[in-house]
Structure 1
């Protein structure tokens, strides 16, 4: 990592703008963007992202900005040492943003100073002595002064060398502090098992309860792999699994995931969910008399539901009010329960919200299945086994509760 790239990155994180930084330092935007990317690579996490064409700094960037402060302060001292006074802002910033000096060169200079010998330092660093001597010579050329007096017993710092030693020690310590924090975050991320699921209908849904069971059982086993959870659309889950951003995906279709291991999680049938005060008794009546909200057709549920509803009422007058890409199941439930829409769900997802909506059977059986797909990690396979066990347990409990309610209704009648 170059000092110039650190100086540029500090200004980007301060200003929140690549283009403003490029204009200020008279650099190309690509050069500034490259500096940020190199810093993100070194620290192993994202500091910025693009949103609507604008650069947005992420929360973690605040901590990194604090860690860069002592480095930029030391660069200011280095500028005075090299004859570039920070008081002349334009000239100083142009120089500081282009410093070619690498952190590794600084640390090699410190090693020579601590060892008092280029030969001893070269052996410790496992470098050739000529290579290390050339790097020191280039450093002296950059700073415009001699840093070492070569003597028979070794190399001794000059007065200028002692000043450079103080500046470089501050830079090295600040950089190592930043790196050690990043290394620990990277170790935690490497141990973490990332699980993604389709968005639950609510806290009482089988998906949420399945994940709750997983976390509880996983932590009870004292596994070395920490779990991180995220919910997203089925389409996004497929892309996240392919790109390696998650290790396990719970979704309603494994289309496009043929290269991944996957197992059926549970099977159910599709039902209509309708407003509590609706009166339609058939799918055709409900679809004809209400607007429809459902997930995107890119999901298994959305694709099946759209095809089924179009077959039942191809000329509906409320088609203009349909929402066919509402990928948040809680929003779909709210639209049905409170705003007069109808939708389609798997029965296992509809049963926990039976007190909020009407559940109407289809006039023909339309099977639905949910799946869990996972990558090659052993921890991912272990988590899948726990998820499948939890889903089987929850499904059997739901069936038992449904039968008990039906028996209670028959007894009351």
Structure 2
């Protein structure tokens, strides 16, 4: 990373506009975007994102911008050393955006100054002495100042070299502070165990209770791996597990996850949830008389429910009002409880919200299964076993007659 790119990126974070900074510095938008991406890569964090064609700065960008402030100030002082006395205004900023001095060159300059010898510094840096001498010569050429006096006993800083030393020390310290924070974030992320689950109906649902038990017991065991939880749709869970963004997934279908280990957590029967004030007594009448909301047909629940509802009433009055991809169970529950829709859930998910909706049995038994799928990490396997144990304890409770634990012969798969 070189100082010009840092100067550009800091202005992007401050203004929130690539094109504005490109015009101001007389650079191409691609050059400005590249500088910002380089900073994100160096710090291992996302600072900006595109939203409706516009650049949006994220919360983390504020802290990074604050950390870059000493570097921007130091670049101004460097401009004065290089002969830009005003060190302000468009002319200076155009120069600053093109400063080719790399952070690594700054570190090597500081090492030579501290050692008082190019040879000693080269040995410590494990570089060839000619290579290090050339880098120092290029630095002096760019600044138009002689930074070292070569003497028999070594290299001594000139007056301009001492000024450069203070400026470069400020830049080095500020950059190392930013990098050390990034390194710590990376270490935390590497240790973190990322667990994804289907979106629970609410805090009272079996999914929420299961994850609560997991976190409590995981932390009680003082595991070296911190747990990070996220809820998303079953389709997104599969993609996140495949891409490595999560390590463990709790979902209602393991379709497409043949390359991952997975276990069936529990089985339950599917029911209809209807508005509390509804009076229809059969599934066919409920489906015919109400609009339907359900998860995406790409999920196990959505696929089964869509096929079942289509078979029961193919010429419904409310077909034009259907929502068949509301991949948020809290939204589905609200549509049923407050807006006259009907939907389908596993009984295990419906029972905790029985005070909000009316539960109607299907006229035929239709079994649903929930699964835990996980990758090769030992921590992922450990967490999955704890999830299985948590569900086993929940199914053994007196009130847990709404779902059953898989029999001993049920499968565990690993490809």
TM, length-normalised to structure 1? 0.95
Mapped partners of 2:186, 2:84: distance in 1: 37
Name the SS for the 1:397 alignment partner.
coil
Q: Which residue of the partner structure matches residue 311 of structure 1?
A: 311
Give me the whole-angstrom Cα distance separating, in 2, the residues matched to 1:375 and 1:256.
14
Deviates more, 1:37-46 or 1:85-94: 85-94
User: What secondary structure sits across from 1:175 in the alignment?
Assistant: helix
2:410 aligned residue: none
Distance 1:350 1:196 in 2: 21
2:119 paired residue number: 119
Could you tell me which residue of structure 2 aligns to residue 173 of structure 1? 173
**Equivalence for 2:129:** 129
Instruction: Work out the CA distance in 1 between the residues paired with 2:144 and 2:345.
Output: 73
How far residue 88 of structure 1 moved from its aligned partner, in angstroms, is 5.3
For the structure 1 residues 86 and 40, does the alpha-carbon distance in structure 2 shift closer, same or farther, using more than 3 Å as the test?
farther
Q: In the superposition, relative to structure 1, how do residues 342 and 175 fare at CA in structure 2: closer, same or farther (>3 Å)?
A: same
Pick which of 196-205 and 233-242 moved more: 233-242
Q: Partners in 1 of 2:401 and 2:282 — Cα distance?
A: 25
Determine if contact 1:296/1:327 at 8 Å carries over to the other structure: yes
Could you tell me which residue of structure 2 aligns to residue 26 of structure 1?
26
Moved over 3 A (4+): 85-88, 398-403
Note closer, same or farther for the CA distance 1:239–1:398 as it changes in structure 2 (3 Å cut). Answer: farther
Distance across 2 between alignment mates of 1:87 and 1:109:
23
2:83 paired with 1:83 = yes
**2:227 is aligned with 1:227:** yes
Residue 334 (structure 1) shift: 1.1
Q: 1:11 to 1:237 in 2, by over 3 A?
A: same
State the secondary structure of the residue aligned to 1:355: coil
The alignment yields a C-alpha RMSD, in angstroms, of: 1.4
Aligned to 1:215: 215
Classify 1:306/1:400 alpha carbon distance in 2 versus 1 (closer, same or farther; 3 Å): closer
Separation of aligned partners in 2, 1:337 and 1:398: 27
Q: Report the Cα offset of residue 87 of structure 1.
A: 5.0
Alignment of 1:106-255 (within 5 A): 106-255=106-255
Q: Secondary structure at the match of 1:344?
A: strand
1:351-389 deviations in Å (ceiling 9; x for gaps): 111121111111111111111111111101110001111
For residues 228 and 278 of structure 1, do their structure 2 counterparts lie closer, same or farther at Cα, with a shift above 3 Å needed? same
Structure 1 residue 402: Cα displacement: 6.2
Distance in 2 (alpha carbons) for counterparts of 1:223 and 1:271: 39
Query: Could you tell me how far apart the structure 1 residues matched to 2:401 and 2:301 are?
Result: 25
Q: For 1:256-292, what per-residue CA distance to the aligned partner results, in whole angstroms no more than 9, with x for missing partners?
A: 2222221111111111011112111111010001110
Q: CA contact under 8 A between 1:198 and 1:237: conserved in structure 2? A: yes
Higher-helix-fraction structure: 1
Structure 2 contact 273–360 (Cα < 8 Å) conserved: yes
What residue is the counterpart of 1:410 in the other structure? Answer: none
Contact kept, 8 Å, 2:269 with 2:366, in 1: the verdict is yes
Question: Matched residues in 1 for 2:378 and 2:85: separation?
Answer: 57
Q: Is the 8 A contact 2:241 2:249 kept in 1?
A: yes
SS at match of 2:276: coil
Q: Which runs of 5+ in 1 are unaligned?
A: 404-413
2:45 match: 45
Partner residue, 2:412: none
Separation in structure 1 between the aligned mates of residue 39 and residue 19 of structure 2, nearest angstrom: 18
Matched residue SS, 1:308: helix
Q: 1:398 to 1:4 in 2, by over 3 A?
A: farther
Q: Secondary structure at the match of 1:296?
A: coil
CA distance in 1, matches of 2:28, 2:260: 42
For the Cα contact (< 8 Å) 2:80–2:87, is it kept in 1? Answer: no
Aligned residues: 403
Q: How far off is 1:79 after superposition?
A: 1.1
State the distance in 1 between where 2:350 and 2:399 align. 13
Structure 2 counterpart of 1:273: 273
Aligned-residue offset at 1:401: 6.0
Q: Aligned partners of 1:161 and 1:169: how far apart in 2?
A: 12
Give the stretch that moved more between structures: 354-363 or 3-12. Answer: 354-363
For the 8 Å contact 1:348–1:395, the answer to whether it is kept is no
Comparing 343-352 and 82-91, the one that deviates more: 82-91
Residue pair 2:76, 2:87 contacting (<8 A) in 1 also: no
Give the aligned partner of residue 359 of structure 2.
Answer: 359
Are 2:324 and 1:324 equivalent residues in the alignment? yes
Q: Residue 346 in 1 paired to residue 353 in 2?
A: no
TM-score with structure 2 setting the length: 0.94
* 1:61 matched to 2:61: yes
Confirm or deny: 8 A CA contact 2:272 2:283 kept in the other structure.
Answer: yes
Contact 1:84–1:95, Cα closer than 8 Å, also in 2: no
Q: 1:12 to 1:184 in 2, by over 3 A?
A: same
Q: Give 5+ residue unaligned stretches, structure 2.
A: 404-415
The 8 Å contact of residues 77 and 87 in structure 2, kept in 1 or not, is answered as no
Q: Distance in 1 between matches of 2:144 and 2:398?
A: 78
